[in-house]
Structure 1
Amino acid sequence: MLSAGIDPSAEIHPTAVVAEGARIGANCRIGPWCVVGPDAVLEAGCVLTSHAVIDGHAHLHEGVQVFAFASIGLPPQDLKYKGEPTRVVVGARTVVREHATIHRGSVGGHGVTTIGPDCLIMCVAHVGHDCTLDHHVILANNVMLGGHVQIADTTFVGGGAALHQFVRIGRQAVIGGMSGVEADVIPFGAVMGNRARLTGLNLIGLKRRGFPRPQINVLRGLYRTLFRSPGVFDERVAAVQAQHGTDPVVAEILDFVRADSKRGLCKAGREMVEDDDAAEG
């Protein structure tokens, strides 16, 4: 944790407004017309290019970059919010592009909005209160996250997609552009449409990250059993458990499916493409 004050190596443009009490780390650069509030913490090497606003109890870890007209830590869009000292945390090396907005948490949630390290929040994306993004998450332009959304690591959300509050997105999923997602998406799943439905697995993502062919084939079999086979869904889950339950990746998906959910599970659409041609990213 930084001590109070501004490190002498920080570069602050004369037109920037840095409130007394803000903590600015070594080699930070704060460009013209930026505003940094009294409770903000910028760790070493953070860069605010221009016209950025960092407000409230906002903590930016090392190397975060915030581009023009983006804002981090403003109050949540929650009518129950009464100015409580809730927080937002942005992980190291995350990049927040122009006009993006990241709101701090709410008392009705868990009080903190969390962006993991090495994320990319593109232009005009919105991260609502109490959201949690793990590492290497990418939100493309104009993505909208309602409050309390959870997105696991290495997930890609396409431009203009809207995610309903309380939705969970599993690890390494891909959300097609302009999709309206109102239910949970399994790890490695690919969804598209308004309202979004599963179109298959994120096969390209699996291959890019080195998943071996036998593992991918197991996941394709899991997908067919869970989402393209007849019968009661709970019985299909039990069948997958019996056949592949010791596989850690399969166990991850089954744990996700069985976890408590406020939104239910995103299911496959009526018109399905073959697995090899499923939406990938």
Structure 2
Amino acid sequence: MIDPSAIIHPDAKLAPDVQVGPWTIIGPGVEIDEGTVIASHVVLKGPTKIGKHNRIFQFSSIGEDTPDLKYKGEPTRLVIGDHNVIREGVTIHRGTVQDRSETTLGNHNLLMAYVHVGHDSVIGNHCILVNNAALAGHVHIGDWAILSGFTLVHQFCKIGAHSFSGMGSAIGKDVPAYVMVTGSPAEAKNINAEGLRRRGFTKDDIALLTKAYKIIYRRGLTLDEALAELNPLAATSPALQVLIDSLNASTRGIVR
């Protein structure tokens, strides 16, 4: 299960069935749970905890120190959940004590080739980050979000659940839940209706979210004015409440 050319520090903790390919290096403070497969030429540094049934492909660097200049070698962590696929050349850095001291990747995510996840970022569940998408530090990504290839996300931005970015988007503000954005700088285009249909949202929910989008983006309202109209509509729609919550959580202002 472990290639004889792999270098594994005696303080690393691997479940008995973990597979490790040739010339992979696993440092101290790394914990890997059952069913996880590590390809060749991977570097894993700790403190890093990796859950069950993940696949990490060749030339990835997982759990490295951040190059952020405020990082001075303090003990910080990376935590990766279960059933993630981390493709070739992905880089994921640990956190900083100025924030959460932890970078977090949830469950059932796909990080395609050369994706970068910066320090203290939080990625939810069922997200897809396409080739060369890059997150600066302190970025939060909601469940089921998709970032297309070469998407760039500024530090401290929040990307809402079920949102979608087009190829080459440069995101400098928060993206509300369900919203599609594209461009450099990124601009809101519409509700991610096709993605919602694929995930089983009802026609009524999609219609209400489309109406909410128009209230936010098509009538020239301030965000507070839009929220005042949306709040009464949320009583019968948990889906709309997710959108409202993402608007209330914004700290950088929303993509317009």
The two structures have a TM-score, normalised by structure 1, of: 0.89
Look up the match of 1:30.
Answer: 20
Counterparts of 1:248 and 1:166, CA distance in 2: 26
What secondary structure, in the 3-state scheme, does the structure 2 residue paired with 1:226 have?
A: helix
- 1:196-211 superposed matches below 5 A: 196-211=186-201
2:52 is the alignment partner of 1:62: yes
Q: 1:96 aligns with which of 83, 86, 92?
A: 86
Look up the match of 1:42.
Answer: 32
Q: 2:130 aligns with which of 140, 154, 159?
A: 140
Q: Call closer, same or farther: CA 1:148–1:231 in 2, change over 3 Å.
A: closer
- More divergent stretch after superposition (236-245 vs 159-168): 236-245
Q: 2:175 aligns with which of 166, 185, 193?
A: 185
Q: Call closer, same or farther: CA 1:231–1:167 in 2, change over 3 Å.
A: closer
- 1:189-268 superposed matches below 5 A: 189-261=179-251, 263-267=252-256
- Greater Rg over alpha carbons, structure: 1
Could you report, residue by residue, the CA deviation over 1:142-180 in whole angstroms, capped at 9, with x for unpaired residues?
A: 011000100011111000010000000111101111000
Aligned-pair identity in percent equals: 37
Q: Give the letter for the 1:13 counterpart.
A: D
Retained in 1: the 8 A contact 2:174–2:250? no
Tell me by how many angstroms 1:226 deviates.
1.1
Tell me by how many angstroms 1:245 deviates.
4.5
Tell me by how many angstroms 1:233 deviates.
3.4
Counterparts of 2:106 and 2:226, CA distance in 1: 34
Q: Call closer, same or farther: CA 1:217–1:74 in 2, change over 3 Å.
A: same
What secondary structure, in the 3-state scheme, does the structure 2 residue paired with 1:89 have?
A: strand
Counterparts of 1:259 and 1:111, CA distance in 2: 21
Counterparts of 1:210 and 1:145, CA distance in 2: 28
Retained in 1: the 8 A contact 2:158–2:250? no
Q: Call closer, same or farther: CA 1:232–1:151 in 2, change over 3 Å.
A: closer
Tell me by how many angstroms 1:188 deviates.
0.6
Q: 2:71 aligns with which of 68, 81, 87?
A: 81
Q: Which runs of no fewer than 5 residues in structure 2 stay unpaired? A: none
Counterparts of 1:36 and 1:232, CA distance in 2: 51
Look up the match of 1:169.
Answer: 159
Look up the match of 1:112.
Answer: 102
Counterparts of 1:189 and 1:219, CA distance in 2: 10
Q: Call closer, same or farther: CA 1:140–1:53 in 2, change over 3 Å.
A: same
Retained in 1: the 8 A contact 2:79–2:104? yes
Q: Give the letter for the 2:211 counterpart.
A: G
Counterparts of 2:203 and 2:165, CA distance in 1: 23
Retained in 1: the 8 A contact 2:129–2:147? yes
Tell me by how many angstroms 1:230 deviates.
3.1
Tell me by how many angstroms 1:260 deviates.
4.8
Tell me by how many angstroms 1:191 deviates.
0.3
Could you report, residue by residue, the CA deviation over 1:94-114 in whole angstroms, capped at 9, with x for unpaired residues?
A: 011111000001111110000
What secondary structure, in the 3-state scheme, does the structure 2 residue paired with 1:198 have?
A: strand
TM-align CA RMSD: 1.1
Equivalent residue pairs, number: 256
Retained in 2: the 8 A contact 1:181–1:195? yes
Counterparts of 2:50 and 2:38, CA distance in 1: 11
Q: Give the letter for the 1:166 counterpart.
A: F
What secondary structure, in the 3-state scheme, does the structure 2 residue paired with 1:12 have?
A: coil
Q: Which runs of no fewer than 5 residues in structure 1 stay unpaired? A: 1-10, 268-281
Q: Give the letter for the 1:220 counterpart.
A: T
